[in-house]
Amino acid sequence: MRRRACGGCGARDACGTSLLDRFLGRRPMRLHVINDRNAQIGEQVIIGVPEEALLKAAVAAYLAPLIGLIIGAIGAHELAGASGSLPADGASLLGALIGFVAVFRWIQGYSARLAADPRYRAVVLRRDDARSAFVQLT
């Protein structure tokens, strides 16, 4: 069971992450982790995620769609201006949508490649004796 995403910051009522956390609720997640500590089923453990994996996932989730939107909109706007037969604003909107969908498709493949690479997999760091952990092996 993961901990709440937010709760301590002053912007929690206007924050998208906090809103998603409240909307989706606290449901258990399934993770494939590397268990070098030989933790057993039913034990509560602390897991860690490699920093590089977290950074790559953040760039793919936040920056790549934005870049796809911008490049798609600019490219379609330029093509519409060069052809002269299409309205530039409509072409920009369509190009942004196409760029977003193209990047979204790329993200699906990219995240599948990252998930298959053991270098980016979560790792059991230690057993949690204090019972305040947020992961239980099942």
**Do 53 and 70 sit in the same domain of this protein?**
yes
Mean pLDDT of 88-97: 93
**Do 13 and 77 sit in the same domain of this protein?**
no
Mean pLDDT of 78-84: 85
**Do 57 and 88 sit in the same domain of this protein?**
yes
Please give the pLDDT value at position 138: 59
pLDDT at 26 over 80: no
Please give the pLDDT value at position 117: 92
Q: What is the pTM of this model?
A: 0.67
**Domain tally for the chain?**
2
Between 12 and 51, residue with greater pLDDT = 51
The secondary structure of 15-80 as a DSSP string is -HHHHHHHHH--------EE-TT-PPTT-EEEEE--HHHHHHHHIIIIIHHHHHHHHHHHHHHHHH
**Do 16 and 63 sit in the same domain of this protein?**
no
Q: Tokens for 133, please give them.
A: 């952990």
What residues make up the domain containing 22?
Answer: 1-30
